[in-house]
Amino acid sequence: METPNESDPLLQSNSSETRIYPQRWYIVGVFALFGCLQSCVWSIYGPMDLAIQAAYGWPSSSFAMMTNWGNIFFILTIIPSSWILEKKGLKSAVLLCSLFSALSMIIRVFNTKSIQRFTISSHIGSILNGISGTTILSAPSVLSSTWFPPNERTIATSISQMFNLFGNALSFMLGPRIVSDIGVNATDPSKTPETVKERIRDDVFYYFLYILIAEIIVFVSVLVYYPSRPKFPPSTSSSISRVDFVSGVVKLLKNKTAWFIGFAYSIMIGFQSAWNGIQSLDYNSIGILDKEAGNIGLVSTVSSCVFGLLFGYLADRIRRKYR
């Protein structure tokens, strides 16, 4: 009986030929841009909360609800979204979710002049964008294992995840600069002059329009060219047949280790993500206005992105060194 070598795969693949394609960087790049925009839209209201309160009369609870819709519908749609990713492939999942994200901005951009329509469209748009977030968080590992060799998978996953986090920074950078709170009565936003309110509504329209154009570019890019998988896998492990979706979910739910890992990750990311979208409200309560609050959010989020990418790169280097 032949003794297997420790470097041999435990499961046999369907193909012995492997190949690494340069298109893998395009695939992860488009996905990273999509994730960045989706996250920016998710937290789009918080960084300009003082201006929004003045122009549309929103209470603080409305800002919290906009980010909450994303979390609520993520929970409700994660299983069907994962099924689409598993059964229909990466392109179908990304195309569908980029469409939802673009629709979330189309609904909003044409309703910035009316207070009532703006509020309603903002809730609907936040729900649609929240649904698109399921693929943003579930697809990076699938993308990296499908397109990248083992020694590049950690950095590929890090790029996808860190650009999603950078979307928060983008909202802090763009929001207060495009939609300025100059002229707003910080003590009582409702007493802001009507001319300032009209200017803010115009600024919101153009801000949303810029984001919509970027969303459409991503959608068209995925529609034109975004293969779900390469002709030949990047490694032997990438060609191994996967577990059936339903049985895989059942096994995962029974896996205690997976529950512990998920719980630890949720505590670490959950509080940070929830607070990121509304931290400007806390800053405003102590006299820090939108632009300065945006700078604080920008620096803190960019720092997280930089260190995330750095540790992803180091993880790949360490893996390569100690193989």
Tens digits of per-residue pLDDT, 118-157?
999 999 999 999 999 889 988 998 899 899 998 888 888 8
Q: Which residue has the higher pLDDT, 215 or 249?
A: 215
Measure the CA dihedral 32/36/39/44, to 10°.
-170
Domain that includes residue 96, residue range: 23-321
Contact 294, 177 (CB under 8 A): yes
Instruction: Give a yes or no: residue 159 inside a domain.
Output: yes
Instruction: Give a yes or no: residue 3 inside a domain.
Output: no
Instruction: Give a yes or no: residue 11 inside a domain.
Output: no
CATH number at residue 33: 1.20.1250.20
Tens digits of per-residue pLDDT, 216-265?
999 999 999 999 999 888 877 655 666 676 777 788 788 888 888 877 77
Cα(59)–Cα(136) distance, integer angstroms: 30
Cα(266)–Cα(201) distance, integer angstroms: 36
Domain count, the chain: 1
Instruction: Give a yes or no: residue 17 inside a domain.
Output: no
Q: What is the pLDDT of residue 4?
A: 41
Instruction: Give a yes or no: residue 5 inside a domain.
Output: no
Instruction: Give a yes or no: residue 12 inside a domain.
Output: no
Instruction: Give a yes or no: residue 83 inside a domain.
Output: yes
